[in-house]
């Protein structure tokens, strides 16, 4: 008896640099059942370090190299992608981020692909009003499903024209609990490696250095913390367009001795092991991978009460929530936890259990696979 043909899936994304959506796609590709699914990836603009990791999995990556999704070159790239979809007899297109939602949906429908899935990974900040109108009038009526990474993201999606509860599917992000396991990483060794003294408290913020991540508010809060507790070091992990500005602000606040800009790193689990607190000061958030990784590592978290943060953190039980854009409230929350190590440990332990119960990577992948099978069968 012949084995059933694998479901052929194209994932469309703008580029494969190291950021939340790209890491999520890499995790999903690693977890897909190779006996049942045959994935490939199209980057609209450029590849990047994550592209090489995808190729190492044996998954093909097609880079269109567009400068923009508008204009003659974009239409030539669209025709090329349509031909490729037909040649590969692709069953399903799944798109990430707004440009890919538009471009991938058009390609999928022109190629006659059986099902198109778009995604919502934030609460709307990534789309200006023009893109939103295009997506609502041109894309939403032509897709089969929209995946949302959190209930908050799903609620925002349901406000859009052309979407209904029958189309929007919430599949929360997952975290690799085996990799982010506090028992696998020595706190003492990690603190020695990163130069944290025994009498120093180590805080960390992990993510792309962009305006919506709230790093400026955290630096303001740190100034208040250091006034009352000078032996504090903040590790700013990640890179992005605001790095030079944030470094200048650090100097202006007189915090150069308290802040370490590490750039983007691959050893996040080890860095989390040496931190006393993790801060997620976002101004908007779909569902933060950095937040889930901190919880999996049993780190106590202080996060803004925004979007997906509220869906993950139960205030006072699995972490602490504070209002966004409020450096004073953020500073007070950090000082209270730094002054109460027993409470911080309890919050961290409860966060690990919450991540294990509700946000395993295996559970996330299983839900995507169920979605794909249902669409392919239909």
Domains and CATH numbers, the chain: 7-174+360-377 (3.40.50.2000), 182-358 (3.40.50.2000)
pLDDT digits 0-9 by tens, 19-47: 888 989 999 999 999 999 999 999 999 88
Q: Return phi, psi of residue 310, to 5°.
A: -70, -30
- How long, in residues, is the chain? 378
H-helix or E-strand spanning residue 291 = helix 289-296
Contact 319, 301 (CB under 8 A): yes
Highest mean pLDDT among 31-35, 121-125, 128-132: 31-35
pLDDT digits 0-9 by tens, 190-224: 999 999 999 999 999 999 899 999 999 999 999 99
Please give the Cα distance from 330 to 220 (Å, whole number): 9
Please give the Cα distance from 275 to 195 (Å, whole number): 12
Q: How far is CA 135 from the centre of its chain?
A: 21
Residue 69 pLDDT more than 80? no
Residue 276 pLDDT more than 60? yes
Q: Return phi, psi of residue 169, to 5°.
A: -120, 125
Burial of 243 (0-12, 13-18, 19+ CB in 10 A): middle
End-to-end, the C-alpha distance of the chain in Å comes to 23
pLDDT, position 127: 63
Q: How far is CA 267 from the centre of its chain?
A: 17
Closest listed residue to residue 23, CA positions, set 150, 152, 174, 148: 174
Q: Return phi, psi of residue 232, to 5°.
A: -130, 135
Give the residue-averaged pLDDT of 262-267.
91
* Band of pLDDT at residue 341, cut at 50, 70 and 90: very high
| Torsion angle of the four alpha carbons 184, 294, 196, 188, in this order, in degrees rounded to the nearest 10 | -20
DSSP strand pairing (320-322 vs 201-206)? unpaired
Q: Return phi, psi of residue 46, to 5°.
A: -155, 165
* Mean pLDDT, all residues of the chain: 93
Residue 176 pLDDT more than 90? yes
DSSP strand pairing (301-304 vs 320-322)? parallel
Please give the Cα distance from 82 to 112 (Å, whole number): 9
3-class state of residue 167 by DSSP: coil
pLDDT, position 193: 92
pLDDT, position 1: 52
């Amino acid at each position: 008896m012949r084995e059933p043909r694998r479901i052929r899936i194209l994932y469309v994304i703008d580029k494969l640099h190291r950021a939340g959506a790209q890491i999520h796609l890499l995790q999903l590709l690693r977890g897909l059942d190779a006996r049942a699914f045959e994935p490939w990836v199209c980057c609209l603009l450029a590849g990047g370090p994550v592209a090489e990791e995808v190729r190492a999995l044996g998954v093909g990556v097609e880079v269109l190299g567009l400068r923009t999704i508008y204009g003659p070159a974009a239409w030539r790239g669209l025709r090329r992608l349509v031909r490729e979809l037909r040649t590969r007899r692709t069953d399903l297109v799944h798109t990430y981020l707004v440009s890919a939602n538009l471009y991938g949906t058009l390609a999928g429908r022109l190629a006659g692909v059986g099902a198109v899935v778009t995604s919502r990974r934030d609460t709307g900040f990534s789309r200006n009003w023009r893109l939103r109108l295009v997506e609502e009038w041109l894309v939403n009526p032509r897709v089969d499903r929209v995946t949302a990474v959190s209930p908050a993201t799903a609620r925002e999606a349901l406000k859009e024209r052309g979407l209904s509860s029958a189309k929007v599917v919430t599949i929360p992000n997952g975290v690799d609990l085996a990799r982010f396991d506090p028992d696998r990483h020595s706190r003492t060794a990690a603190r020695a490696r990163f130069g944290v003294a025994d009498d120093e408290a180590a805080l960390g913020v992990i993510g792309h250095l962009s305006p919506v991540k709230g790093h400026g508010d955290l630096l303001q809060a740190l100034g208040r913390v250091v006034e009352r507790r000078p032996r504090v070091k903040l590790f700013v992990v990640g890179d992005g367009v605001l790095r030079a500005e944030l470094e200048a602000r650090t100097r202006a606040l007189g915090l150069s001795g308290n802040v370490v800009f590490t750039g983007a790193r691959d050893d996040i689990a080890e860095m989390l092991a040496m931190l006393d607190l993790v801060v997620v000061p976002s101004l908007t958030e779909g569902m933060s991978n950095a937040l889930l990784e901190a919880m999996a590592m049993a780190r106590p978290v202080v996060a803004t009460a925004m979007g997906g943060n509220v869906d993950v953190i139960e205030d006072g039980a699995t972490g602490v929530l504070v209002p966004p854009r409020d450096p004073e409230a953020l500073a007070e929350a950090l000082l209270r936890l730094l002054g109460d190590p027993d409470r911080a440990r309890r919050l961290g332990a409860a966060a690990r259990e919450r991540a294990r119960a509700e946000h395993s990577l295996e559970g996330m992948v299983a839900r995507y696979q169920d979605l794909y099978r249902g669409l392919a069968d239909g």
